[in-house]
Amino acid sequence: MQAGKPILYSYFRSSCSWRVRIALALKNIDYEMITINLIKDGGQQLAIIEYLEETRPTPRLLPQDPKKRAHVRMISDLIASGIQPLQNLSVLNQVGQENQLTWAQQVIASGFNALEQVLQSTAGKCCVGDEVSMADLCLVPQVANADRYKVDLSPYPTISRINKSLLALEAFQVSHPSRQPDTPPELRA
């Protein structure tokens, strides 16, 4: 028995919200969105995605194979806990306006250097093999942030290839920040 329609408190540009929106779209879950203006992203998105996986296991976002599942969780954590929080507005405000772009670029590049190495041994069409997983839900919003902060992606061919492939999928398109109800008109697709 399913509970009522889930409610997602979302901000169009939030990486955390975007990850959950992708999961909801992939699993074809109808939900209500309440838009809020977040000052800093929350860290609950991986727990929410795992909850969705446990309560609505189709399609799978965590592979059945324990080793692949561990890789998905490791990559997801690397992005959601190791890269993304360091370029949140709350952190950027601490480094000062004049240093924000450089700081964000350095943090993302450092994380992407590690991520590119990992993906070279785990990736197929997606971050881990050929099936979309929670790791892919983390990757796409982070690459969008890299673009936003003008990070040179040429040193990261695996990241770039996977991102391009994922952005062609409907779930990633409908969940994109440029297509959300609270997206400012000048940023709409």
Predicted pLDDT at 39: 46
Predicted pLDDT at 92: 81
Q: How far apart are CA 52 and CA 29, in angstroms?
A: 9
Q: Which CATH number fits domain 7-187: 2.40.50.100, 3.30.2130.10, 3.40.50.720, 1.20.1050.10?
A: 1.20.1050.10
> Given CA atoms 56, 59, 62, 67 in this order, what sign does their dihedral have?
positive
Predicted pLDDT at 3: 63
Alpha carbon 172 to its chain's center:
10
Backbone angles phi, psi at 159, to 5 degrees: -60, -45
Predicted pLDDT at 93: 81
**Coil/strand/helix, residue 11:** coil
pLDDT of the chain, 189 residues: tens digit per residue: 356 889 998 888 888 899 999 999 999 999 999 888 754 445 588 999 999 999 999 999 999 999 999 999 999 999 999 998 787 777 888 888 888 999 999 999 999 999 999 999 999 999 999 999 999 999 999 999 999 999 999 999 999 999 999 999 999 999 999 999 999 999 998
Say whether pTM exceeds 0.85.
Answer: yes
Q: How far apart are CA 49 and CA 135, in angstroms?
A: 11
Q: Let me know: does 102 contact 39? Beta carbons within 8 Å.
A: no
